[in-house]
Amino acid sequence: MKKIQTLLIGSAFAAIASSAAFAQTAQPADAGAQMSAQVQGAPGVTPPPQNLVAPASTDPLVQKRNANAQANAEYRASKNASKEQLKATNKEAKAQYKEEVRNAKINQKADKQTAKDELNAAEPSTPKDSGLQH
C-alpha cells in the first residue's frame, strides 16, 4: 500500500511538473502560483481515485501460478459449501432421530399402561396378601 501511495504521489508530481513546464511558456507568473497551490494541496480537494491494473503477464509460470490460485480458491469454496451442506444434513438427521426416540418413549409408556390396565381388569380385585406366611 505504501509503495502504491508513493508511486501515485510521484506520478502526480511528474504530471504537475510537466503541466507547469507547458504553463511557463504561456504565462510564467500565473504558473508559479498554480504550482505552489497544487504542491501544498488545497484542503478538501482530493485527486480522483485511480485503479491500477497490471497487464496480464505472458510468462507461463505466472499464468500457471494464477491458474493454481484460482483453482485453489474454487476448491476451497466448494469444500466449504459441501461442509455446510453436510452440517445441515446431520442436523436434520439428528432432529429426526430425536423425534423418533421421543415418539417411541411415548408409545412404550402407552403400551405399558394398556398392558397394566388389561392385567388389572383380568384379575379379581382381591387383596394380594392372603395372610399366609411361609
Q: Over the stretch 77-124, which tens digit does the pLDDT of each residue have?
A: 999 999 999 999 999 999 999 999 999 999 999 999 999 999 888 776
4-38 per-position pLDDT tens digit = 888 778 787 677 777 765 555 555 455 455 555 55
Q: Is residue 98 part of a domain?
A: no
Q: Is residue 32 part of a domain?
A: yes
Spatial distance between the Cα atoms of 96 and 99, rounded to a whole number of angstroms: 5
Cell of 79: 469444500
Q: Is residue 100 part of a domain?
A: no
The domain of 19 spans 1-41
pLDDT at 93 (0 to 100): 98
Spatial distance between the Cα atoms of 57 and 64, rounded to a whole number of angstroms: 11
Number of domains composing the chain? 1
Radius of gyration from C-alpha coordinates of the chain: 43
Q: Is residue 54 part of a domain?
A: no
